[in-house]
Amino acid sequence: MTYVVRAETPPVEVYQHLRVATGLSPKSTAAATAGLAGTWHAVVAYRDDHPVGMGRVIGDGGTAFQIVDMCVLPEHQRRGLGKQIMTALMEHLRQRVPRTAYISLIADGDARHLYAKYGFVETAPDSVGMALRL
């Protein structure tokens, strides 16, 4: 299968669909609209013009960035598409982000193995990820 990864922020409906279809938490239309407006960089992966995956970078533009919303529809997993999405995000970061910037992410399950290939390391015990759901 041939995939195309385009540098673009997904439309709200695509974002919501991909999140739910890949097991990520659902987001309301209001939350998705506001969140997507804050995207620093994003890519959407397509198969025959149908969106099948995405990844985004959010951040302040200079000192701190986070990779979020990495997902690929289950029927398109294990074909290297996650690597293509991550490579596109990392190339953009390397070209445009100051060397002193901090880039973080939260790795769910075995995704840590993918992220390690791009130089990400676990931060514990020096620091630990924390979260709060309202």
pLDDT < 70 positions in the chain = 1
Query: Is the domain 4-116 a CATH 3.40.630.30 member?
Result: yes
Which tens digits make up the pLDDT trace of 21-50? Answer: 999 999 999 999 999 999 999 999 999 999
Nearest to 73 by CA among 98, 48, 51: 51
Judged by DSSP in three states, 47 sits in strand
* Residue 133: per-residue pLDDT: 87
Q: The whole model's pTM is what?
A: 0.94
* Residue 43: per-residue pLDDT: 98
CB 67 within 8 A of CB 90: no
* Residue 97: per-residue pLDDT: 96
Domain spans in the chain, listed from the N-terminal domain onward: 4-116
Ranges of H-type helices in the chain: 12-21, 29-37, 81-96, 111-116
